[in-house]
A = this chain, B = another copy of it.
Amino acid sequence: MMIMKKDLKTILPEGFAANGLACGLKKSGKPDLALIYSSAFATACAKFTTNSIIAAPLVVCKEHLRIAKKFRVVLVNSGNANCFTGKAGIKDALATVNCLARQLKISPKSVLVSSTGIIGKRLDVAKIKKAIPELTAGLSGAGIHKAEMAIMTTDTFAKEISVSLTVAGKPVRICAIAKGAGMIAPNMATMLCFIMTDAAITQSALNKALTAAVNKSFNCISVDGCMSTNDTVLVLANGVAGNKAISGGKDLLNFSRALEYICLDLAKMVVKDGEGATKFIQIDVCQARNVQEAKKIGLDIANSMLFKTAVFGENPNFGRVASAVGASGFNIKEGKLKIKLGSLKGKAVKLTVSLSRGKAKSTVYTSDLTPGYIKINAAYN
């Protein structure tokens, strides 16, 4: 029996603080610099985009995760992805890391860094450096909302959640913030997600839990089929809750379920906030030979411009679903395929595709394709 409760208001776990402010990277003057801070050294685990072109902060993070075991802070900027910026981009990311480390008197290796925004432009390091004293001075528990605001790009609403559970008799909390609205595709989307927990957990158990949670959440969503260069899901576990470190068994199962709950909730929020989206579409592919097949077919439907456009137009064109399934490469035959498309009138649309090939199933989430998506992306720069 799992003991997990969603908090009514998002609350940071013990030992964490956060902040967010506008340092001037965004022309709009909106918040664009966030900091997540742990007073205790935290175990960390991350999943990054599988795009072979990755942003400079991901290069830095991967290196820090390789050489260090414990971490203290995550610095995130929006407005500039610091991607396709070559060696200069890595130097820029490290400059912000070093500046923050000096300010907090911690090792640069305990700093993780993340960026989102336009690709191919140098990061304005001076603006970030200048803002770091104010950013660190303002760290607080309530600052998580400010941090969330500062990682948003085309997002129209904040995405945060926290849950409480009991691990080995101790109350622990998991809290997460996310951003993402466009360039959303597996694996994983221009999606940033930062998860904080005061639970004590071993590195390998944390990795197991995160892998499972991401595969069933962020890797099951697509807004536009475009895979980002900056995707990051990062979890910090600082152990301040004082539980016996989770390493397996029932404790890991409970923790994993809570993590999956959080990730799926945020992933759905990302889809609901899909650029220009007017509909939230759930695609259940069932009776597949295996989960991979079900997921691939679900994502192929989710990425069909014609299907997405039909849903926008409330046009029940199931032929476009059949066409996408047939194009998926699994040699699905017409006689075996059953398509059930629910009402298109409301905000939530459900599509069920049955393949009559086996017992596996997968659920994928996507949004419709609308003139709003084009308006946002034709002008974005």
Contact = CB atoms under 8 A, between A and B. Distances in A.
B224 A377 contact: no
B86 A322 contact: no
B183 A86 contact: no
B374 A374 contact: yes
Interface stretch (A170-178, A265-273, A331-339): A331-339
A293 to B, nearest CB: 13
B334 A86 contact: yes
How many copies of this chain does one complex carry?
2
Given A226-B304, A228-B323, A306-B226, A330 B374 contact: no
Contact of A320 (B226, B329, B330, B334): B226
B83 A322 contact: yes
A374 B369 contact: yes
A186 to B, nearest CB: 10
B319 A83 contact: yes
Nearest to A230: B323
A227 to B, nearest CB: 4
B378 A332 contact: no
A318 B121 CA distance: 10
Interface in A299-337: 303-306, 309-310, 312-313, 315, 317-320, 322-335, 337
5 contacts: A83-B323, A226-B320, A229-B322, A313-B377, A371-B375
Interface of A: 50-54, 81, 83-84, 86, 118-120, 182-183, 185, 224-229, 303-306, 309-310, 312-313, 315, 317-320, 322-335, 337, 369-371, 373-375, 377-381
